[in-house]
Structure 1
Amino acid sequence: MIMSLGNDLDGRVRAAAMAWLRQRCTPEDPVVPRGELLSFQFEGRPFPLIDNQLGIRKPQGMTAALSILTTYTSDGARAPYEDAVGGDGLLRYKFQGNREHYTNVGLQRAFELRLPLMWFFGIRQGLYLPFFPVWIVAVEVEQSQVAVALDEAQRHLRIDGPVSLIERGYSERITKQRLHQPVFRQRVIQAYETSCAMCHLRHRSLLDAAHIIPDRETHGVPAISNGMALCKIHHAAYDENILGVRPDYVIEVRSDILEERDGPMLRYGLQAMHDLRLTLPRRRMDRPDHNLLEERYERFRAAG
């Protein structure tokens, strides 16, 4: 797909940058610091993958924009995802100032030439989760924005006319699975310093971002304050109401589970969590919301 672009600068840079990202971003370390993106080397010379000041990177000498960037801001400063999802389930990315700005023209050229881009999404100050390749599939001049497809299925979705409920639902699921959920996971795990809030396990591949209120519910927003970093066993136990978290951050294990007799996993992995205090993020704004905890705790009590 990328190789079909030939040996032009646009094609070579994109191929090299995405190959580097595939090697650089592993399951254990999927995020990239800003400094590494700025110091990327292409054919022996510096070639930043992001602009030092702007959200759209359109390098000199290239035909079209190379990347887009969404900066990190705290949950309290704005909605978790400022770039809105349209009625077709596709994400929108806003122009950089005046629509005739060279960066916006670069986005339009990427659309016209069907060139893939990289999207760097901020999950903490100076730390980004990359999504690639992504494609500009529509330029909406009146709204000063472009529509972005996250995969091939969204890329071929018809957006110049009415979209059926089935198509919209399918596209929205892709957006949630491909961008919202990974960003939520990384933001929560970073806030908890790559450690389970209950047992302190620090293996990233064994950690999840557990929702307090499930994301299938309208107020189950993908915000850090609606999440906790939990290892897979404690995430499953929390979802199944085997254990709960009180609004004062104290862990409770369901009474019938406390009375069971089984092997060491039950004793040390679950029963030993009873009456322990949740380990919280350093920043107060990242800590679990009291109202959400209280609502979820009442569900835990009802299940018991």
Structure 2
Amino acid sequence: MERAHSHGELATQAELSKFTFEGIRVPLLDRQRGIRKPAILDAALSFRTTFTPPGQSPPYEDREGQDGLLRYKYRGDNPNHPENIALRRAYEHDLPLIWFVGVAPGVYLPRYPVWLVADERKELQFAVALDEDQKLIEPGTFLEPDRRRYVERLTKLRLHQPLFRARVLQAYGASCSVCQLRHSSLLEAAHIIPDGQPRGEPIVPNGLSLCKIHHATFDQGILGIRPDHVVEVRKDILAEVDGPMLRHGIQEMHGRLISLPRDRAARPDRDRLEVRYEQFRKAA
């Protein structure tokens, strides 16, 4: 886990399969199974959500319940499958688990620690708490709007935002789509349609990989991106005289084509770009 956090939080299947503990090889992830229980343990150590390419439906949907908590589906429809029993033991003993969420084929975003806080056999699923505060929620209860928003905000901070960033940066080869800067620590995932607005979902086709400067200029309407992927800089900004950052970092981006993901399904949605560009054009 320390290795994953020191390299932008992502970990590969190959790295996870080589993990050792006190000189013993203990793979953190199973190549063939979604739930990992090493032979030396009595309960599960980790579980994963596989990567689903943009535009495709996942084999399992891990959704939020009315209590705001996420659900993780059983392996198959048999509650007594060995993998489900391994997770159940972790739940019964309140053991922390690692959740590996697929970002790309063989690449995962680890979330640790997480806990299982309910075994919902009728629905063939477990309820998952992403932090200590979520563990205080009574699974299956209806939450008042303010409390529900708080629980959902924790999920957004602990899972949805990091996952959106990881998937967008992975799709764009960890470079800014405007200037091609490749320092991951200076890159962010920008929403084309802002979060909370209709069609503002945290999905790759609604995202752009941008460095911090170009993310800020995009959000503030200084820089726009046309539906044909051409960058425009606001006319009054083009007329300004300032230092080298303005000249080289912003003004010289005017008229450039942004770089795009190789996977066409991961490229920015044209309709979303058109809506955002129209907003930029009117404001300019």
Question: Do they fold alike, i.e. is TM over 0.5?
Answer: yes
1:116–1:134: 8 Å Cα contact kept in structure 2?
Answer: yes
CA RMSD, 1 decimal = 1.5
Where 1:183 maps in the other structure, the secondary structure is: helix
SS in 2 for 1:186: helix
2:67 is the alignment partner of 1:88: yes
Aligned counterpart, 1:228? 208
- Alignment-derived partner of residue 37 in structure 1: 16
**Among candidates 249, 252, 266, match of residue 286 of structure 1:** 266
Residues 28 and 204 in structure 1, CA contact (< 8 A), matched pair in contact too: no
| 1:177 match | 157
Note the C-alpha offset of 1:63.
2.0
1:35-72: per-residue Cα shift (whole Å, max 9, x none)?
11112112222211112211111223422111010111
Equivalent position of 1:16 in the other structure: none
CA distance in 2, matches of 1:273, 1:265: 11
Partner of residue 27, structure 2: 48
1:161: how far off?
A: 2.7
Give matches, 1:1-304, under 5 Å: 21=1, 23-26=2-5, 28-78=7-57, 82-97=61-76, 98-304=78-284
| C-alpha contact 2:66 2:141 (8 A) present in aligned 1 | no
On the 8 A contact 2:67/2:140 being kept in 1, the answer is no
Q: Which moved more, 1:178-187 or 1:213-222?
A: 213-222
Do the aligned partners of 1:69 and 1:119 also contact (CA within 8 Å) in 2? yes
| Contact 2:17–2:26 under 8 Å retained in 1 | yes
How far off is 1:160 after superposition?
Answer: 4.3
User: 2:105 & 2:91 partners in 1: Cα distance?
Assistant: 30
* Greater CA drift, 53-62 or 208-217: 53-62
Kept in 1: contact 2:66–2:142 (CA 8 A): no
Decide whether the 8 Å contact of 1:225 with 1:287 is kept in 2.
yes
Percent of counterpart pairs with the same letter? 54
Give the SS at the match of 2:143: coil
- Gapped regions of structure 2 (runs ≥ 5): none
Letter in structure 1 aligned against 2:235: S
Aligned equivalents of 2:278, 2:58: Cα separation in 1:
27
1: CA distance between counterparts of 2:107 and 2:209? 18
Which structure is higher in helix share?
Answer: 1
CA contact (8 A) 2:230 2:255 kept: yes
Look up the SS of the partner of 2:122 in the other structure: helix
